[in-house]
Amino acid sequence: MEWAAERRRWRVRLGDDRGRIHGAGLMLDDRHLLTCAHVVESCGGRDARVAVDFVGVAGTPSGWAGVVADGWVPPTDDGGGDIALLRLEEPATGVGGARLHRMSLRDDQPVRAYGFPDGADDGAWTLGELAGEGGPGGEWVQLDNTSGVRVGPGFSGTALLDRETGAVVGMIVSRYTGEDGRVAWMIPVETMLGHLPRLREWSTGEPAVDDSFIQPGDASDDAADVAFTQKVVTWLNRTGSGSVWAVVTGDDESAITKALRVTVVHADRERSVSAPQFPRGAGDPPPPGAVDLAVDARGRSAGEVGDRIKERLKLDDLGSARDCTVVIDGVDSAAEPLPLVDEVVTALAGRAARRGVRLLLAFRRESSPSWKAVRSLVEAGLGERLDALSKDIDQLAAFEEVQFILAKRYTGVAGASRRATRLRSGFNQFRGAQADGDLDWVERNLADFERRVSRAVEAGRGWRADLDGRDARLTELRALLACYAEMSAARGLIEDPRLEQLYRPAEEALFKPPFSLAAADQAVQAYVAAVRDRLEDRP
């Protein structure tokens, strides 16, 4: 892996003029380096000279650096920012430059980082996984430690690498916290690019949102449709199963089209930092990173749109997309609307519910053939989701029936809740709306209902696993009692009064419901111990 050797050339350790280590950074070229603003502050403040050690390049002398004029983004009160671009007083020889890579981040994505914790001045690795956006201000992404050293102050400012590609996808900003010390935070590359546009000089990868979504007038008073803005935010905030939402927005300058554009911009990590004001009365904007990709399809061929999606999401083929949120605007204004639907939309939407693909498709005209084609696709997708839900509710009903029958066999087991009956009633409302052609209502409400069913089925699986475990333990105890009873009989102990006294309560505990496994286990173990004692006493 070429990047494994290359990263040593841009890895740096940062300290103050007293030789104390305060964090890490990454060289962008032979003169510029990136770190956290709070690392610079700990070295003496905004105007401090920061000591730079090139720990991965043998023979390269240490240098001094200061913050460039337009490279200071201090931490804000709500936790945003905390980025600093520094310039060496003299160019460094033999160093390399890291590339900041735009990438759609996903939960459980494996990552790694190299920092300088206490006692490891030469550095050490930590391995982790991304766990979703959060942190103060909502700009950070949580990082959970999986192995290696835990993050401490000496990790602040270090690059976070995608383990699969070696690409720099973020910068560690905060140490691990929590009782088990396994939670840290990082600033994604795209957030840094939004705060400090100059960093784009050293960036790679496709932006999440096409430039044409940025129209400063969209957020002016009365420009965007507030009600539709709220609908888009609600849809973006949903998690769980995938879905396809097709809408007609009207012409390019309609209030609904503007609402879509401005909401998408606020959902992009890179664009949201400098996005225009969110429409008044629309509530809170969506969280940064809520959209993985937003494509303006107007005037583009099906192949161009497909290539844009594959490049951003790192896909070999569109049908392999998983766990992503994609917006395609102007579907019916594309150069090839029907091929776009057939070749791109259909590939993404196929089994979207099961693959976690969330697709928002915006059309300009309800009369367009591509709109009608997508409506058929959406209807088929909703039908597939409803069929799957029906099977899940049937499965839950089966779990509850087993629980109703078997729960009576054991003490301390609650009876079945009969949630399947209530969920089936709710499900019938969706089937009725589907039959009436009210697909918008089905689409708006189905994801929440799917989560309710999913939680109920998981609980049902838990009940069944618990009862299966109890049955298995009861069978084991019965076999153990029978084994030792046969053993005592074979050694002539069948009429031993002490063993007889212990055998009967054990047998009753195992064969007379309701069963208390704790009492049965205690009775069987007492009998087993007594048999062993008798056998040890006999020659």
Q: Nearest Cα to 381, choosing from 362, 344, 363, 354?
A: 354
Q: Looking at residue 1, what is its pLDDT?
A: 44
Distance CA 295, CA 348 (A): 14
Helices 255-266 + 226-237 axis angle, to 10: 40
CB contact at 8 A, 323 and 290:
no
Distance CA 148, CA 151 (A): 9
Convert the pLDDT of each residue in 136-194 to its tens digit. Answer: 667 888 888 888 778 777 888 999 999 888 899 999 987 545 544 557 889 999 999 99
Distance CA 11, CA 5 (A): 11
Distance CA 303, CA 293 (A): 16
- Looking at the DSSP bridge assignments, the partners of residue 336 are none
Phi and psi angles of residue 477, each rounded to the nearest 5 degrees, phi first: -65, -40
Convert the pLDDT of each residue in 376-422 to its tens digit. Answer: 878 877 887 888 889 999 999 988 888 887 778 888 877 667 889 99
Distance CA 188, CA 196 (A): 12
Which ranges in 267-368 belong to alpha helices (H)? 269-272, 302-313, 337-339, 346-349, 352-355
CB contact at 8 A, 324 and 104:
yes
Q: Looking at residue 221, what is its pLDDT?
A: 61
Question: What are the DSSP E strand ranges found in 100-182?
Answer: 100-101, 110-115, 124-134, 140-148, 159-162, 168-177
Per-residue burial over 446-457, b if 16 or more Cβ lie within 10 Å, else e, is: bbebbeebeebb
User: Which residue bears the tokens 């000496």?
Assistant: 154
Distance CA 405, CA 402 (A): 5
Q: Nearest Cα to 268, choosing from 206, 178, 340?
A: 206
Q: Is the peptide bond before 539 cis (omega within 30 degrees of 0)?
A: no
Q: Nearest Cα to 213, choosing from 159, 174, 252, 245?
A: 252
The amino acid occupying position 170 is G
From the DSSP assignment, how many helices (H) and strands (E) are in the chain?
15, 18
Residues in the chain where the model's pLDDT stays below 50 = 1, 176, 179-180
Residue-by-residue DSSP string for 206-275: --SB-GGG--GGGGSTTTS-HHHHHHHHHHHH--SS-EEEEEE--STTSHHHHHHHHHHHHTSHHHHTTP
Q: Nearest Cα to 301, choosing from 327, 338, 350?
A: 338
Per-residue burial over 211-224, b if 16 or more Cβ lie within 10 Å, else e, is: eebbbeebbeeebb
CB contact at 8 A, 156 and 174:
yes
Distance CA 229, CA 242 (A): 20
Q: Looking at residue 537, what is its pLDDT?
A: 74
Give the mean pLDDT of the chain.
Answer: 86
Task: Spell out the residues 6+ positions from residue 401 whose beta carbon is closer than 8 angstroms to its own.
Answer: 416
Handedness of CA 210, 215, 219, 222 (dihedral sign): negative
**How many beta carbons lie within 10 A of that of residue 500, not counting itself?**
13
